[in-house]
Amino acid sequence: MNDTNIPNSANTASTHAILDRLTEEWDALTPEAQKAARYVLENPQDVGVSTVREIAEAAKVKPNTVVRMARQAGFEGYEDFRAPFREAIRKGAISFPDRARWLQDIRKSGDLGGLYADMAEAAIRNVEESFAATSAEAMKAAADAIWASRQVFTLGVGVNNANARNFTYLASTGMTQFHAIPRPGSTAVDDLAWADSRDVLIAMSMRPYRSEVVAAIEVAREQGMTIIGLSDSPASPIIRAADHGFVVAVDTPQFFPSSVPTIALLETLLSFVIAVASEEIVDRVERFHDRRHQLGIYTEGNE
């Protein structure tokens, strides 16, 4: 154990301090206690409303393991450990904090506190504005087009190349014929050479708009493809050419546009694709991950 002490009073201990202590003590915990700690770290909202047996069952450990974990964190037992989480629920602090007060506190935290607060505020605002600009119906329409297609090409260059590849990777865990373009050594236009009306192009670009993305969209339009566009303005050439357009708020206090709302919308779009898909996709995802377990790709304890 290190020398950090956490008071065992619900009035003085904070849930954040408890979670930090568990992280600091991780290497000192037994493998079974790490399972309990992992569950608490990933599901802190459950602690205040769960008994020791319920936490143990959820973490797949014995109740006395949860008690030992609580003691390792500096508490006499599970009830003392749980008390701050119950107090947080009572005060409403377990939900998202009051944003104005939270951001003000951050700005007072040091020389870079203002920048930290500005970035946090921009990320939250961008996500909210991006989701406010669309609807579940628009997402479903785009998802239906993806599920009904023969192939899906996801196009992003620059920073959006990583966003496109992330979306493609996640989709490929349950679906086939998803392609992130441009492929290495190729161009987006070449990658779309044999695409047609049975296929979908998901294209994204923010100001200043990339000419190769605009050119690829023009080719896709000529070949009858369905186009799903993500961009930062309704006037963007990506949105204007799209059959399904999603306007993304990307402003930050820095020189670069934010990828946070783009990733959030893409993840939501993928969740809609899974929702409208046939039941076989669930079996595909399970088989994909079972195979990874069999190949030893996952480390023990990640189930």
CATH 3.40.50.10490 fits 127-294, yes or no: yes
181 and 148 Cβ atoms separated by less than 8 Å:
no
Q: What is the CATH number of domain 15-91?
A: 1.10.10.10
Q: Does residue 11 or residue 128 have the better pLDDT?
A: 128
CB atoms within 10 A of CB 165: 14
pLDDT beyond 50 at 188: yes
The residues, ordered by sequence, that sit 6+ positions from 138 with a Cβ below 8 Å of its Cβ are 244, 246
pLDDT beyond 50 at 94: no
The pLDDT confidence band at residue 7, using thresholds 50, 70 and 90, is very low
The pLDDT confidence band at residue 295, using thresholds 50, 70 and 90, is confident
Question: Tokens for 185?
Answer: 């050594």
What percentage of the chain exceeds 90 in pLDDT?
Answer: 53
pLDDT beyond 90 at 105: no
Mean pLDDT of 151-161: 96
In b/e form, how buried is each residue of 234-265, taking b as 16+ CB within 10 angstroms?
Answer: eebbbbebbebbbbbbbebeeeebbbbbbbbb
Q: What pLDDT does 217 receive? A: 98
Domain layout of the chain by residue ranges: 15-91, 127-294
The pLDDT confidence band at residue 96, using thresholds 50, 70 and 90, is very low
Q: What pLDDT does 13 receive? A: 56
Mean pLDDT of 33-55: 88
Whole-prediction pTM: 0.67
pLDDT beyond 80 at 250: yes
